Amino acid sequence: MRIRGYKIIAPFYEHLRNFFFPAIKKYQSEFHKLKPQLIDRIVIVGGGSGDILKPVLKKFSKSTVYFVEPSTSMMERAQERFGTSRRVFFIQESIENAVVEDADLVLLPFVVDILEEQQLIPVAKKTRELLKNKGFVLFSDFLKPRTFSARLKLSVLYMLFMPIRGKFQTSLPDYDDFFKTAGLRKVTEKQSQSGLFVSELYQKV
């Protein structure tokens, strides 16, 4: 993935994303029935410009958060918003190379869908490595659009990633294979009525 491409979309990506898909904010901050008192260390993978940090810091008010983001432009925007927090540690690195251990919770907020095919297995294995035994993963992402309108909106969103991927994305990864590779068991799942968004809670087994 060509990280330099993020400089082009960073200033306006979040606004366009929320304009086309306002439900993203709801599903990436769906915490199911996780008990905050059981979560000490959190890793956010591909946190982008940092909008996910606000609900995470509020829900898990005593947890330490490791914010992993490879893009300099996205990282700068996240640090502008939350850089003064003593509970957030910013790691500008690809997830495959991030050094974090014994996480109680890993968040994958709308990031697996934009991984290139050759990244899926390494990222799945790395996700497992990040977790302590019985640790959790919160996954949120798109499902295959059912309507023309949803397909059109998703196509516009993926057009923004062309400078990064070097090609236009036409399909979604096989999420089941991803989590099977990671050795994670699904605990709960919530889908939107439109069938376009999903939030799932997994546990390391």
Give mean pLDDT, residues 105-119.
92
Whether 144 and 192 have beta carbons less than 8 Å apart is answered as no
Domain spans of the chain?
3-204
pLDDT of residue 152: 83
Angle between helices 175-182 and 117-130 (to 10 degrees): 40
pLDDT of residue 117: 87
pLDDT of residue 183: 96
Q: Is domain 3-204 classified as CATH 3.40.50.150?
A: yes
Q: Considering the chain, what is the average pLDDT of its residues?
A: 88
**Is 60 exceeded by the pLDDT of residue 202?**
yes
Three-state secondary structure along the chain? CCHHHHHHHCCCHHHHHHHHCCHHHHHHCCCCCCCHHHCCEEEEECCCCCCCHHHHHHHCCCCEEEEECCCHHHHHHHHHHHCCCCCEEEECCCHHHCCCCCEEEEEEECCHHHCCHHHHHHHHHHHHHHEEEEEEEEEEEECCCCCHHHHHHHHHHHHCCHHHHCCCCCCCCCHHHHHHHHCEEEEEEEECCCCCEEEEEEEEC
**Is 50 exceeded by the pLDDT of residue 109?**
yes
pLDDT confidence tier of residue 52, bands split at 50, 70 and 90: very high
pLDDT of residue 38: 93
From the list 51, 73, 86, 84, the residue with the least C-alpha distance to 7 is 73
Q: How far apart (Å, rounded) are the C-alpha atoms in residues 144 and 172?
A: 7
pLDDT of residue 149: 83
**Is 70 exceeded by the pLDDT of residue 193?**
yes
**Is 60 exceeded by the pLDDT of residue 170?**
yes
pLDDT confidence tier of residue 10, bands split at 50, 70 and 90: low
pLDDT confidence tier of residue 6, bands split at 50, 70 and 90: low
**Is 60 exceeded by the pLDDT of residue 166?**
no
